Amino acid sequence: MNLKHYAVAGILAFGAAVPAVVSAADAAAGKAKAAVCAACHGQNGLAQIPTYPNLAGQNEQYLVSALKAYKNNQRSGGQAAIMQGQAAALSDEDIANLAAYFASLPADGGK
């Protein structure tokens, strides 16, 4: 076996040893919870008002971080006061589920 084969074998062995990161969040539960989000962020996560961000197709971990930051009053400016109020009532599970739901939506609205 030459050095190239050892390198490939090492990479494969390392890859098998690293567990895959799998979201335990429930996108269907997130969809059920997302009805209130639609007022600003659109029915399918695509905002109709230009000053509100689209959530569809957004990175799941980013959404989790953003919602937790709003919940902990770590974001200010813009619509932060509204988002802080919305996020305050969310559990960590709700946040994970909402993030999974919006991340699962096509960023282009399925066009």
Return the biggest CA–CA distance within the chain. Answer: 63
Q: Look up the pTM and report it.
A: 0.78
CATH class, 26-104 region = mainly alpha
CA atoms within 13 A on the CB side of 72: 9
Each residue's pLDDT expressed in tens, for the chain with a length of 111 residues: 555 554 444 554 544 444 444 568 999 999 999 999 999 999 999 999 999 999 999 999 999 999 999 999 999 988 999 999 999 999 999 999 999 999 999 999 887
Domain extent listing, the chain? 26-104
pLDDT of residue 24: 85
